[in-house]
Structure 1
Amino acid sequence: MTKCGYVSVVGRPNAGKSSLLNWLVGEKIAMVSHKANATRKRSNIIVMHEDDQIVFVDTPGIHETEKLLNQFMLDEALKAIGDCDLILFLAPITDKLTHYENFLEKNKKNTKHILLLTKIDNVSNKEVLEKMQEYEQYSSKYEAIIPVSIKKQTKHGDILDVVVKYLPEHPYLYDPEIMTTEHLRDIFKEFIRESIFDNISDEIPYETDVIINRVEEKKDLDVVKATIVVQKSTQKGMIIGKGATAIKRIGKDARIKIEKLTGRKCYLELFVSIKKGWTKDKKGLKELGYDVTF
């Protein structure tokens, strides 16, 4: 009998969740940014490990805030914690234990979890061992603790062998040929958002989003038309840039990501629209795909 189950990948903002998942699946699917709170919704990334299937759930970072959009993101992370067979908690090696202690409080069902110590590339082995000893006081809470370096030392099997050990015996939930349950248009949206995060100053991306207006598959290329949504006219000016330099840079960056994923040429056309206060308004959030139910 095969093993198969849902594994939620959680941690504070910018803990390295999306980078880990892209590395495990061997493709760039999840949005990655050096800026915190880039991931806004849950998404499934499917990894086959020998005869077993692992459905990883990428989640927004666990954080507390009064902003409506951020409350939606926290709710997404909490739902993922409550609806899975196993949790991977990512803890950057330099973090204090407070983020982990916060997670333990939020894991109401006491779902089994594995602790991954991430971002160990820039510390010594001695520091890794010292951090593992710090977590030892909670050894009764976690099933295993694994130091992770996706850049060099760690192999996929170092993580996947342990994950599969704690999954139930179950037939595959999805076709083993697919890597994600996300629609292509949703992945395109995230690639454009990522390009905004990478090319525009720190404060702007958090008040932007993207609507995919149209995706058309032609014989020789994909035509993608999308609208970048901002809250203020000044933000629109920054997204477009002097002589449209900024939006051209965003478009080129996103197009390269899309073409690498699909293996086809892409014609990407971007527009910019102002939607005042959308991050603070339930209706505005819902129109952009964030169905706030609390």
Structure 2
Amino acid sequence: MSPDISSNCPTKAGFVAVVGRPNAGKSTLLNWLVGEKLAMVSKKAQATRKRMNIIVMHENAQIIFVDTPGIHEKERLLNQFMLSEAIKAIGDCDLVLFLAPANDRLDHYKKFLELNAGRRPHIVVLTKIDELSNEALLSKIAQYQAFQDRFEALIPVSVTKGIGKDQLLDEIVKDLPCSPWLYDSELMTTTNIREIYKEMIRESIFDNLSDEIPYETDVIIEKIDERPGLDRVQATIVAEKKSQKMILVGKGGSTIKRIGRDARLKMEQFSGKKIYLELFVSVKSGWSKNKKMLSELGYDFD
């Protein structure tokens, strides 16, 4: 149950969109803040395709973070959907976190300012600060201070070194509205198990294959049979071309077995259950450029 808020703002709750360029570390940051591996993480850019809500409780506040695809522009229809997901998240939230890797120039931040156009208050989160010397970090902070009238705060963080977590959460809470909690305090995400398992299989494809193949694949969870201590999952990897199917399967099924083993371990770690995973591969030519096929895969355009 949500706490009583009859007194002077005893609880806060709100949505916080997490945005930035592709591969800025959004999912890594959120997994660190929630203390659980929920969001898909890949060293390859543009791995996240849909919004995902991740819930963090901090003091008297419930922070609903919205993980988003990286802000980028490409002609492919799937990429247009991804950009629209980020823009919608900005419009729907109470606060925005703009993630700025410390080594980046300010070009991405300037583009974000144009995109946001003052619609929502935002905090600049300077990430990967452990990759800079103290002198270089101070120089970078000084560059952002030129825009201090545009942001609520600038918080340097390092997931690797565990720096800045409480400071960031404290700053976020300041900007959240007074509200009862919107979800059960034990809940870590509003995303259902089907979507989480799908993302774990997608992450395993990114981890085990290079070049364009991961970007031209998707995953359909065909069936989940949930039992005490065991989930039986059937899933299909969708590829664009027959040649990609051959690579995904691999010689003697070696690649698909490796992807399946990797995904199964991720799913077991998350669920605390044994996982029996069956993976298949099918070809849907041009799916990432076809609105009807994208809709069938769960990418709904308004």
Question: Under TM normalisation by the shorter chain, which class is it?
Answer: over 0.9
Q: Which amino acid aligns with 1:131?
A: K
CA deviation string 1:68-101 (max 9, x = no partner): 0000000000000111100000001111111000
2:156 touches 2:164 (CA, 8 Å); kept in 1? no
2:28 is equivalent to residue 19 of structure 1: yes
Q: Which amino acid aligns with 2:165?
A: H
2:282 is equivalent to residue 289 of structure 1: no
2:193 is equivalent to residue 192 of structure 1: no
TM-score, length basis structure 1: 0.98
Q: Distance in 2 between matches of 1:43 and 1:14?
A: 16
Query: Which residue among 55, 65, 70 is the counterpart of 1:46?
Result: 55
CA deviation string 1:201-247 (max 9, x = no partner): 12101110000001111244110110000010000001111111111
Shift of 1:292: 2.2
2:19 touches 2:99 (CA, 8 Å); kept in 1? yes
Report the 3-state secondary structure (helix = DSSP H, G, I; strand = E; otherwise coil) of the residue aligned with 2:131: coil
Q: Which amino acid aligns with 1:206?
A: Y
Q: Which position in structure 1 is the counterpart of 2:13?
A: 4
Q: Bigger shift: 117-126 or 139-148?
A: 117-126
Q: Distance in 2 between matches of 1:176 and 1:109?
A: 31
Report the 3-state secondary structure (helix = DSSP H, G, I; strand = E; otherwise coil) of the residue aligned with 2:279: strand
Q: Which amino acid aligns with 2:104?
A: D
Q: Which position in structure 2 is the counterpart of 1:218?
A: 227
TM-score, length basis structure 2: 0.95
Q: Distance in 2 between matches of 1:206 and 1:133?
A: 37
CA deviation string 1:131-173 (max 9, x = no partner): 0111111110001111110111414212100100111100001
Q: Superposition RMSD on alpha carbons, in Å?
A: 0.9
- Structure 1: gaps (5+ residues): none
Kindly tell me the number of residue pairs found equivalent between the two proteins.
293
Query: Which residue among 206, 209, 218 is the counterpart of 1:209?
Result: 218
Q: Which amino acid aligns with 1:80?
A: A
Q: Which position in structure 2 is the counterpart of 1:252?
A: 261
Query: Which residue among 161, 175, 181 is the counterpart of 1:172?
Result: 181
Report the 3-state secondary structure (helix = DSSP H, G, I; strand = E; otherwise coil) of the residue aligned with 2:224: strand
CA deviation string 1:51-80 (max 9, x = no partner): 210000000000011110000000000000
Report the 3-state secondary structure (helix = DSSP H, G, I; strand = E; otherwise coil) of the residue aligned with 1:138: coil
The correspondence of residues 25-104 of structure 1 with structure 2, limited to 5 A, is 25-104=34-113
Q: Distance in 1 between matches of 2:229 and 2:39?
A: 26
4+ residue runs of structure 1 moved beyond 2 angstroms? none
Q: Distance in 2 between matches of 1:33 and 1:228?
A: 18
Q: Distance in 1 between matches of 2:219 and 2:81?
A: 17
Q: Distance in 1 between matches of 2:200 and 2:222?
A: 15
Report the 3-state secondary structure (helix = DSSP H, G, I; strand = E; otherwise coil) of the residue aligned with 2:104: coil
Q: Which position in structure 2 is the counterpart of 1:112?
A: 121
1:33 touches 1:198 (CA, 8 Å); kept in 2? yes
Q: Which position in structure 2 is the counterpart of 1:266?
A: 275
Q: Which amino acid aligns with 1:234?
A: S
1:231 touches 1:274 (CA, 8 Å); kept in 2? yes
Q: Distance in 2 between matches of 1:91 and 1:234?
A: 38
Report the 3-state secondary structure (helix = DSSP H, G, I; strand = E; otherwise coil) of the residue aligned with 1:216: strand
Q: Percent identity?
A: 63
Q: 1:109 to 1:82 in 2, by over 3 A?
A: farther
1:216 touches 1:223 (CA, 8 Å); kept in 2? yes
2:157 touches 2:165 (CA, 8 Å); kept in 1? no
Shift of 1:120: 1.5
Report the 3-state secondary structure (helix = DSSP H, G, I; strand = E; otherwise coil) of the residue aligned with 2:132: coil
Report the 3-state secondary structure (helix = DSSP H, G, I; strand = E; otherwise coil) of the residue aligned with 1:30: coil
Q: Distance in 1 between matches of 2:123 and 2:301?
A: 30
Q: Distance in 1 between matches of 2:135 and 2:251?
A: 50
1:82 touches 1:109 (CA, 8 Å); kept in 2? no
Report the 3-state secondary structure (helix = DSSP H, G, I; strand = E; otherwise coil) of the residue aligned with 1:195: helix
Report the 3-state secondary structure (helix = DSSP H, G, I; strand = E; otherwise coil) of the residue aligned with 2:129: coil
Q: Which position in structure 1 is the counterpart of 2:169?
A: 160
2:237 is equivalent to residue 228 of structure 1: yes
